[in-house]
Amino acid sequence: MKDLEPETPFEINDYIRLEQMPHFLCPGCGHGIALRALLWAVHELQIDKDKLAVVSGIGCSGRLSAYIDANTFHTTHGRPLAFATGLALARPDLHVIVITGDGDSLAIGGNHLIHACRRNLNLTCMMLNNEIYGMTGGQVSPTTSSNRYTTTTPAGNTEPVFDACALASAAGASFVGREVTMQVTGLKNLMRGAIEHHGFSFVEVISDCTEIYGRKNDLGMSPEMMLSQKATMRPEAYRNTVDVPFRPNALECGVLTQKDRPEYGSAYREMTANLRAKGKQHG
């Protein structure tokens, strides 16, 4: 990463594999906006694409890695953080970014998420929360809102919802943030902060699955879904203001947690270097 701002404006085509177009996302899917914001942040940070590794899980979100012009790894359902942990420890010279979904990271991969937060290895995790299992046709997920219809909650969802950011913060993530896709610039800035952060960073992107979740719950087309998400959010600037006109349970956006904790990879390498130095002295 370099200190100077890039001289050239962000041009997404510089960061995607054009030969993989057309992409497979449905028209209106929020995941595409998240991808754009991520690549914009990569551009602003002037990360060398040869040194960028993107590790994704399985889901519509997981498919994004294939479109990025970098070292990309589409792994198994729920496990991208485990793969990324090995990759980042073996190759500390790489910038490792994980793309995951709400099902991928909070259901099947929940164990890996909390331990990645606890370990604080230098990784960035972008979680695309569309409140649904998009890829498999719209089943309930740990973030599906109350009473919403999915193919496995035909009478409406009665399960409680996970607050992914609260979970990540409680588990020890040293950088946590949330943003809606409507705020592309805000999301880009948040991703930038997350990537720059030395330690484990977790960003929840409020995405939309227009095609399945939107349709099944009469949430309108993508613009309506994005506008209603924006209406429920509370921007960072208003965090400490009175609630009006925001809903009391408004979605807090922006940076939610940022703290200095020892980064796992550096701590491990320091320990091994000390051991080796000692070994030499004695031997």
Partner 1 sequence: MANRVNLQGNQACALGAIAAGCTFYGGYPITPSSEVAEAMARELPKVGGTFIQMEDEIASMGAVVGASMGGVKAMTATSGPGFSLKQENLGYACGAEIPCVIVNVMRGGPSTGMPTRPAQGDVMQARWGTHGDHPIIVLTPASVSECYTETIRAFDLTEQLRVPVIVLIDEVIGHLVETVDLDDLTPQTTVSRKFADTPVEGFEPYAVTEDMIPPFPRPGDGYRSHTTGLTHMPNGFPTQNPAKAEAALTRTTDKLVLHKDLIEFCQLIECAGADLVIVAIGISARAAEQAVRDLRGQGVNVGLFRPLTLWPFPETTLKAAVQGAKAVLVPEMNQGQMVLEVERLMAGDLPVHALNKIDGEAITPSEIAAKVKEVL
Ligand X SMILES: Cc1ncc(C[n+]2csc(CCOP(=O)(O)OP(=O)(O)O)c2C)c(N)n1
Q: Does 210 help bind ligand X (rule: CB under 6 A)?
A: no
When the beta carbons of 85 and 129 are compared against partner 1, the nearer one is: 85
| Shortest reach from residue 168's CB to partner 1, in Å | 15
Residues of this chain, 136-175, that bind ligand SF4 according to CB under 6 A: none
Residues of this chain, 36-75, that bind ligand SF4 according to CB under 6 A: 60
- Which three-class secondary structure string do you get for the chain? CCCCCCCCCCCHHHCECHHHCCCCCCCCCCHHHHHHHHHHHHHHCCCCHHHEEEEECCCCHHHHHHHECCEEEECCCCCHHHHHHHHHHHCCCCEEEEEEEHHHHHHHCHHHHHHHHHHCCCEEEEEEECCCECCCCCECCCCCCCCCCECCECCCCCCCCCCHHHHHHHHCCCEEEEEECCCHHHHHHHHHHHHHCCCEEEEEEECCCHHHHHHHCCCCCHHHHHHHHHHHEECHHHCCCCCCCCCCCCEECEEEEECCCCCHHHHHHHHHHHHHHHHHHHC
| Shortest reach from residue 45's CB to ligand X, in Å | 25
Q: Does 111 help bind partner 1 (rule: CB under 8 A)?
A: yes
Q: Does 31 help bind ligand SF4 (rule: CB under 6 A)?
A: yes
CA 87 – CA 79 distance, rounded (Å): 13
Q: Which does 136 bind (CB under 5 to 8 A by kind): ligand SF4, Mg ion, ligand X, none?
A: ligand X
Q: Does 258 help bind partner 1 (rule: CB under 8 A)?
A: no
Residues of this chain, 126-145, that bind Mg ion according to CB under 5 A: 130
Residues of this chain, 45-84, that bind ligand X according to CB under 6 A: 58-61, 77
Q: Which does 174 bind (CB under 5 to 8 A by kind): Mg ion, ligand X, partner 1, none?
A: none
Among 82, 135, 191, 253, binds ligand X (CB under 6 A): 135
Please work out, in degrees rounded to the nearest 5, the angle formed at the alpha carbon of residue 19 by the alpha carbons of 1 and 43: 15
Residues of this chain, 81-100, that bind ligand SF4 according to CB under 6 A: none
CA 226 – CA 236 distance, rounded (Å): 18
Binding mask 205-244 for Mg ion (x = CB under 5 A): ----------------------------------------
Q: Does 136 help bind ligand X (rule: CB under 6 A)?
A: yes
C-alpha closest to that of 182 among 119, 225, 127, 240: 225
Per CB under 8 A, residues contacting partner 1 are 17, 20, 49-51, 53, 55, 65-66, 69-76, 79, 82-91, 93-94, 111-112, 115, 268, 271-272, 275-276, 279
- Where on the chain is the footprint of ligand X (CB under 6 A)? 58-61, 77, 101-104, 128, 130, 132-136, 141
Q: Which residues bind ligand SF4 (CB under 6 A)?
A: 25-26, 29, 31, 60, 130, 134-135, 209-212
